[in-house]
Amino acid sequence: MSQGNTDVTTEVSPVRQCETPAAQAACSVLEVLGRVSGKWSIGILLVTTQGPARFTELERQVKGISRRMLTLTLRNLERDGLLTRTVYPTVPPKVEYTATPMARELYDSLLALTGWAERHLHEIDRARADYDGAAAPEAVRTPALAG
């Protein structure tokens, strides 16, 4: 996300499959996912979309994040134009991060995914249990219960 410059903007994208028209959609999604991926981007986007937030405030609200990753993720979001960073040169430094309109739009789009997730969460869990139950039952063969 930071130490290695993935250089998405300049050269060939990680997926060459953007040739067919239908696959262009996939590439766009991949672009978005690239920006929003990382454990913390969405959490930060969420908080800052509710209103301006300070650094320490974010550190508390996005629970579990380290200072390092908070900084890095904030920098990347700022770089992508999803956050604006406002510095108040007061005696105790004060920095506020705010989501841009573009970020709010993104969050709206993410709600579509949220809807899908909520609708199918149980279905997915069932599918997983089904798959795992059918694949792993080497030692747990207790036919007494099954019959």
Partner DNA sequence: CGGGATCCTCCGGGATACTG
Partner DNA sequence: CAGTATCCCGGAGGATCCCG
Instruction: List residues binding its own copies (CB under 8 A).
Output: 9, 14-17, 22-23, 25-26, 28-33, 35-37, 39, 42-43, 46, 50, 61-64, 78-81, 102, 105-106, 109-121, 123-132
Single out the segment in contact with DNA by CB under 7 A; choices: 21-29, 55-63, 104-112, 119-127. 55-63
- Contact predicate 70/40, CB 8 Å: yes
Q: What residue 62 binds from its own copies, DNA, none (CB within 5 to 8 A, per partner kind)?
A: its own copies
Binding of DNA at residue 45 (CB under 7 A)?
Answer: no
Phi, psi torsion values for 54, nearest 5 degrees: -90, 170
Specify the length of the chain in residues.
147
Q: What residue 95 binds from its own copies, DNA, none (CB within 5 to 8 A, per partner kind)?
A: DNA
| Burial call 100-121: b when 16+ CB within 10 Å, e when fewer | beebeebbeeeeeeeeeeeeee
Q: What residue 11 binds from its own copies, DNA, none (CB within 5 to 8 A, per partner kind)?
A: none
- Contact predicate 59/67, CB 8 Å: yes
Strands 83-88 vs 94-99: parallel, antiparallel or unpaired? antiparallel
Closest distance of CB 92 from its own copies, Å: 25
